[in-house]
Amino acid sequence: MRGGNDTPISEFLLLGLSEEAELQPLIFGLFLSMYLITVLGNLLIILAVSSDSHLHTPMYFFLCNLSLVDICFTSNTVPKMLWNIQAQSRVITYAGCITQMYFFLLFGMLDNFLLTVMAYDRFVAICHPLHYMVIMNPRLCGLLVLVSWIISGLNSLLQSIMVLQLSFCTHFEIAHYFCEIKQVIQLACSDTFLNNMVMYFVSALLGAGPLAGIIYSYSKIVSSICAIPSAQGKYKAFSTCASHLSVVSLFYGTVLGVYLSSAAIHSSHSGAIASVMYAVVTPMLNPFIYSLRNKDIKRALKRFYGMAGTKGTIILR
């Protein structure tokens, strides 16, 4: 926590996506638009599911949690970035940086776990349809979400505490638009071997583990769908998990693409631009994927719009 001259650190500098002044208004407008679309889209999903009793099922319970986490995920980084651009400042306090890092790890890992839980839900629905409501009871659904929060919170707490033990020298510039843990660790002038080992071990364990669970679930789902005799039955079964499969492909595809490209290019700036895909673009696209590919969500949104329009007419009268 102390600098090379034994003085406490008070702030870091976020270099952002570009240092060119003429690009700042464009970046501000683009990210503001994406942030508003993300919040509005995910909020509509939550309101539509909450207002329609037909959607009070495990699948949509998990979807509401995913939408809430996506709102929090982007709200943790984008508003600070927009504020810095508007104020023409790159400063983030030391406490603010650690806090941002903690919540970024928390919500990023929660996204990971919730997608895994949703894959398990689809596995039970397609492979064990007769026992679905017995297995996926409200108690188990709540427990799965609670365990996801606990594991994610403990992981974030562990890694944040370990960063707090580091000493920093005179170089406090983070080549990113938020306090990404890898970038912060690289700025430390004390030994970071343990931090790096824990970071990579946890990423492998909590990243590869859920991904393996998703792959296993979908391998069983594909086998069950192939065993269905009618083409209509196969299409109906596949359509129930098409939206989730699209979101999983988008999330893991962008995350793997970011880390593989950053490892190959060895450029912090390129990594910052690439991270926009999973940290901003993916949460923005999730509501569109679920609303466009899911008839139940479309129906719920239309009913929600109808209720809102009716209430508005009554108030005006």
**Residue 200 forms part of a structural domain:** yes
pTM to 2 decimal places: 0.90
Handedness of CA 20, 22, 23, 25 (dihedral sign): positive
Enumerate the β-bridge partners of residue 11: 93
pLDDT score at 261: 63
Q: How far is CA 237 from CA 64, 122, 199, 201, in A?
A: 22, 10, 39, 37
Q: Alpha-carbon dihedral of residues 183, 213, 218, 114, nearest 10 degrees?
A: -60
User: Strands 11-14 and 173-174, how do they pair?
Assistant: parallel
pLDDT score at 268: 61
**Residue 1 forms part of a structural domain:** no
- CATH code, domain with 48: 1.20.1070.10
pLDDT score at 45: 92
pLDDT score at 231: 83
**Residue 38 forms part of a structural domain:** yes
Query: 251-307 pLDDT, tens per residue?
Result: 888 887 776 666 555 556 667 777 888 889 999 998 888 876 677 777 777 777 666
Which residue positions in the chain have pLDDT lower than 70? 1-8, 171, 259-270, 292-293, 305-317
Range of the domain at 170: 11-316
The secondary structure of residue 188, as a DSSP letter, is B
Enumerate the β-bridge partners of residue 2: 8
Q: How far is CA 236 from CA 55, 139, 228, 243, in A?
A: 17, 28, 10, 13
Domain count for the chain: 1
pLDDT score at 305: 67
| CA dist., res. 311 & res. 317, Å (int) | 10
pLDDT score at 108: 94
**Residue 206 forms part of a structural domain:** yes
